Chains A and B, each alone.
Chain A
Amino acid sequence: KAGVTQTPRYLIKTRGQQVTLSCSPISGHRSVSWYQQTPGQGLQFLFEYFSETQRNKGNFPGRFSGRQFSNSRSEMNVSTLELGDSALYLCASSSRQGDYGYTFGSGTRLTVV
């Protein structure tokens, strides 16, 4: 059974640009969550999608957005990148909105220069 796949693995962008990250959940999982991990702030919740609907959103500015497709694949987008957006972005999937634990992908390492 394939795990959670995140692409790309590494990304370097310039301030002001925008970026799109992709996440393919485990087959059959309908819940996808996104987290930002930085040394200073730790793991912070971005948003969760379930059956194409955003169910919950963390405390991030509107530059951070996401969506989920009918096949449960999810994308997150960050517009007008800032240096502080440099982080490891982790995607996690679950069969039932995380009640029984999330399976995480290996993450996308975003560096903003």
Chain B
Amino acid sequence: AQSVTQLDSQVPVFEEAPVELRCNYSSSVSVYLFWYVQYPNQGLQLLLKYLSGSTLVKGINGFEAEFNKSQTSFHLRKPSVHISDTAEYFCAVNARSGSARQLTFGSGTQLTVLP
């Protein structure tokens, strides 16, 4: 079974400051990892994904994440945030297990960018 832990439920940060949203996962098989963002009253938008290859993944809106297999982490970072980045962010893992697969989400991190 796979699980995802997002270590911070709320992260307040001032505009133009850097931010890191932490995500740890557990799975006994190789995984694909994703970060999604959700704005109020909307669905989820894919920010970035790790499938294989380079452990540093760049996504949309200036976000990037680093896959660390030894620490089973996939932390999301942005060097300088904007007010418009205020949203809820979800880390997710898709692990292969035979023919059964599903996307398992963390509990989410509410990022609030303060002026």
Q: Is B one of A's binding partners?
A: yes
Q: Which residues of A contact B (CB under 8 A)?
A: 4, 6, 33, 35, 42-43, 45, 48, 55-56, 58, 90, 92, 97-107, 109
**8 Å CB contact of A45 from B36, B43, B46, B103:** B103
B43-58 near A? 1/0 per residue, CB < 8 Å: 1111001010000000
* Closest A residue, CB atoms, query B51: A100
CA distance A7 to B92 in the complex (A): 25
B3 interfacial contact with A, CB 8 Å: no
Q: Which residues of B contact A (CB under 8 A)?
A: 32, 34, 36, 41-46, 49, 51, 90, 94, 99-108
B43 to A105, Cβ gap below 8 A?
Answer: yes
Name the A residues within 8 Å of B108 (CB-CB): 42-43
Chain B contact residues, majority secondary structure? strand
How many CB-defined contacts (below 8 Å) exist between A and B? 58
A102 to B43, Cβ gap below 8 A?
Answer: no
Smallest distance from the beta carbon of B18 to chain A beta carbons, Å? 25
CA distance A42 to B36 in the complex (A): 14
**8 Å CB contact of B101 from A35, A55, A107:** A55
Smallest distance from the beta carbon of B73 to chain A beta carbons, Å? 19
CA distance A100 to B46 in the complex (A): 11
User: Given A33-B102, A90-B43, A99-B94, 16 other A-B contacts at CB below 8 A?
Assistant: A6-B43, A35-B105, A48-B102, A55-B99, A56-B101, A56-B102, A99-B101, A100-B32, A100-B49, A100-B51, A102-B46, A103-B46, A104-B44, A104-B45, A106-B42, A107-B42
Name the B residues within 8 Å of A56 (CB-CB): 100-102
Smallest distance from the beta carbon of A89 to chain B beta carbons, Å? 10
A99 to B43, Cβ gap below 8 A?
Answer: no
Smallest distance from the beta carbon of B21 to chain A beta carbons, Å? 15
B34 to A107, Cβ gap below 8 A?
Answer: no
Name the B residues within 8 Å of A58 (CB-CB): 102
B45 to A101, Cβ gap below 8 A?
Answer: no
CA distance A43 to B34 in the complex (A): 14
